[in-house]
Structure 1
Amino acid sequence: MNKELLKNMCSIYSPSGNETAIRDFIVNEIKDYVDEIKIDPLGNLIARKKGPGKKIMLAGHMDQIGLMVTFIDENGFLRFTNVGGLAPAITLSQRVIFENGIIGVIGSEKLESIKDLNLDKLYIDIGASSQKEAEEMVSIGDVCVYYSEPIIDDKKVVSQALDDRIGCFIMIEALKALKDSENDLYFVFTVQEEVGIRGAKTSAYTINPDFGIAIDVTTTGDTPNAKKMAVKLGNGPAIKVKDNSILCHPVVKNTMIKRAKENDIKYQLEVLELGGTDSGAIHLTRSGIPAGVISIPTRYIHSNCEMCYLSDITGAIELTVKLVESEFVE
């Protein structure tokens, strides 16, 4: 497990629509392991490892959720809107950082009841004393992200942006581990997933793969009073059956299960009642593409302290390698 690589990836500022920094980092990391690297007009990074067989597209999104400045008041406090899914209760009191390094804290107006808490009641305090001072530091339309130090020990990783830097990390490590493949592989690091799986839609149209695989996080049912769900940390990568955007194709799902069993890779099956991944766009591209998802069980998604187990990450890397290096089960 390359913990330093994972930590570095989780620390890079790259909200939806501004994925340049993480894309440049990934290019430098994978350039010696692929035959071609392209960046499409929307900003997706498409890395190809050539092979004689079917075209397989793997997708992990580079972007993270963020907060965009909409208004600066006379005292220098910033109002904002969401870029991706933000929960007010999680956002309150968080530290945030802008692309230029300015750090702020999320504060709240006086509330009569915590039930009144919503994003309209929150503001960003960057320590400015006036509108003029604040405007010298940030501008309308600037985006910040949660700011905290990633923590990785012998069992788990806790960080912001695991959704979906962990998927990108798994793709990178799988690419490094691959020797020869019977398939023609496209590792696609997508943009703007958090605001409508946009990058996967355009890149899948360009590649027109025979099969598509998204690698992303999923929620768990293993915390106190959690919604009943048969996914938990430590039980291996999850092979998705369905979510709100896709019913995974049986050829892809069954091939994942077969490869896991053949190689003694611990796995679990996932039925997610809400949410979606890049596969939701991939499978509807052109005349339709059989697609599925390898999911990483993750607690506290869309917070600054998303948590997953290293054992599940390792299992996902191994499953990805075994899945793409041979033929799919028709």
Structure 2
Amino acid sequence: MSIDLDLLKKLTQSYGPSGNEKNVLEHIKEEAKNYCDEIYFDNIGNMICKKNGGGKKIMITAHSDELGLLITHIDENGFLRFVPIGSIKVENCLYKRVEFYNGFNGIVGIEHLDDKKDIKFDNLYIDIGAESREDAEKFVKVGDSAVFKGEFFTNGSRIFSKAIDDRIGCYVALETLKDIKTVNELYFVFTVQEEVGARGATTAAYNIEPDLSISVDVTSTGDTPKSKNTVVSLGKGAAIKVKDRSIIVNPKIKEFMVDIAKKYSIPYQMEILELGGTDAGSIHMTKGGIPSGVISIPTRYVHSISEEIDINDVNASIELLKRVIEN
């Protein structure tokens, strides 16, 4: 199966920090509109693409937001102070380029420190080339948010970009939506504000109350030098989640997904993530409890401006999601 690199580039390079996912959702809506019976937005901002059916209600989620920076103060010399939106390592911010909603750019700088071990977000600022507060406010205001800039490029079967987390999940959901045939009633939910606590998934699950939910997100790998002890690697197939900090997947769901992978000869690997979580963490505890599973795309350098995935894992994830829904 070939991969639509133009679409994936459009998704990853779109501006969409938590709380301001409009641009990304518009791209997804344009791509999905001919493949579903209804598209609507809920009160928190999730976009739901519904395919009518008479069987079980199945919800598929992928989060549309990315990490970002929120401007809290502009000093008299025009330097912008900020707080992170989502889980960002402070050292990953240094001298990185950022972009605001209006397309204006800046770079993250740092105050002089005698010992770089003392670095905190309080020591960082964004330089947009302004000479005063008044000059800066022509382009950026307190309350505006920015995202990191990271070029999209490929090298063989590998894809590199910012915001692969979780625009690749959105891509997998979209490609499944285009090709799925089932009697079940499907809700493809492109959630908002996952990076700040899976907030969109919480409200979507409460409103839809599906019989089954499958989330599609990225997961870290253990295939780089001196990496953490995990068996997930690039190029070895879709990752079926066993556990992360937000969920222990119901054994019936996990085993069902493994059986489907085996039945259709889909490359797969088992995933245990020590840190982090996904939409499924909120979904599975909604109301009386919703059976939930997760398909993860192996990704190197998660939460950086240069995340890396393998096309073969993407294709395996699409095929696994499709077959799980059909069965």
Secondary structure of 2:207 counterpart: helix
Contact 1:58 1:187 in 2 (8 A): yes
Secondary structure of 1:58 counterpart: strand
Distance 2:150 2:228 in 1: 28
Match of 1:62 among 61, 64, 86: 64
Counterpart in 2 of 1:220? 221
Deviations 1:6-30 (A, max 9, x none): 0010011011001111111111100
Distance 1:247 1:169 in 2: 25
Report the alpha carbon displacement of residue 177 of structure 1 after superposing the two structures with TM.
1.6
Identity %: 51
Q: What amino acid maps onto 2:96 in structure 1?
A: Q
Counterpart in 2 of 1:242? 243
1:259 equivalent in alignment to 2:254: no
Distance 1:279 1:25 in 2: 24
Contact 1:7 1:152 in 2 (8 A): no
Secondary structure of 2:194 counterpart: coil
Q: How does 1:90-129 map to 2 (within 5 A)?
A: 90-129=92-131
Counterpart in 1 of 2:186? 185
Report the alpha carbon displacement of residue 156 of structure 1 after superposing the two structures with TM.
1.0
Contact 1:211 1:252 in 2 (8 A): no
- In terms of mean alpha carbon deviation, does 309-318 or 50-59 score higher? 50-59
Contact 1:151 1:158 in 2 (8 A): yes
Deviations 1:22-63 (A, max 9, x none): 111111100100011111011101111122221111100000
Contact 1:251 1:290 in 2 (8 A): no
Counterpart in 2 of 1:165? 167
Q: What amino acid maps onto 1:37 in structure 2?
A: I
Report the alpha carbon displacement of residue 289 of structure 1 after superposing the two structures with TM.
0.5
Distance 1:177 1:156 in 2: 24
Counterpart in 2 of 1:3? 5
Report the alpha carbon displacement of residue 136 of structure 1 after superposing the two structures with TM.
1.0
Q: Give me the CA root mean square deviation.
A: 0.9
Counterpart in 1 of 2:298? 297
Q: How does 1:42-57 map to 2 (within 5 A)?
A: 42-57=44-59
Distance 1:96 1:205 in 2: 35
Distance 1:70 1:177 in 2: 44
**Unpaired segments of 5 or more residues in structure 1?**
none
Q: Runs in 1 of length 4+ with deviation above 2 angstroms?
A: none
Report the alpha carbon displacement of residue 118 of structure 1 after superposing the two structures with TM.
1.6
Distance 1:10 1:207 in 2: 28
Distance 2:38 2:254 in 1: 28
Deviations 1:78-117 (A, max 9, x none): 1100110111111101000000111000111111112111
Distance 2:156 2:45 in 1: 35
Q: What amino acid maps onto 2:52 in structure 1?
A: K
Distance 2:317 2:54 in 1: 24
Contact 1:3 1:152 in 2 (8 A): no
Distance 1:251 1:43 in 2: 32
Distance 2:226 2:114 in 1: 27
Secondary structure of 1:194 counterpart: helix
Counterpart in 1 of 2:30? 28
Report the alpha carbon displacement of residue 251 of structure 1 after superposing the two structures with TM.
2.2
Q: How does 1:80-99 map to 2 (within 5 A)?
A: 80-99=82-101
Contact 1:236 1:315 in 2 (8 A): yes
Secondary structure of 2:195 counterpart: coil
Q: What amino acid maps onto 1:86 in structure 2?
A: I
Deviations 1:180-226 (A, max 9, x none): 20321110000000001000000011110011111000111111111
Contact 1:71 1:140 in 2 (8 A): yes
Secondary structure of 2:131 counterpart: coil
Report the alpha carbon displacement of residue 152 of structure 1 after superposing the two structures with TM.
2.5
Counterpart in 2 of 1:269? 270
Deviations 1:153-201 (A, max 9, x none): 43111111111000000000111121x2032111000000000100000
1:18 equivalent in alignment to 2:26: no
Q: How does 1:128-143 map to 2 (within 5 A)?
A: 128-143=130-145
Distance 2:44 2:67 in 1: 18
Counterpart in 2 of 1:199? 200
Q: What amino acid maps onto 2:288 in structure 1?
A: S
Contact 1:30 1:172 in 2 (8 A): yes
Deviations 1:203-250 (A, max 9, x none): 011110011111000111111111101111111110000100001112
TM-score, structure 1 normalization: 0.97
Report the alpha carbon displacement of residue 64 of structure 1 after superposing the two structures with TM.
0.4
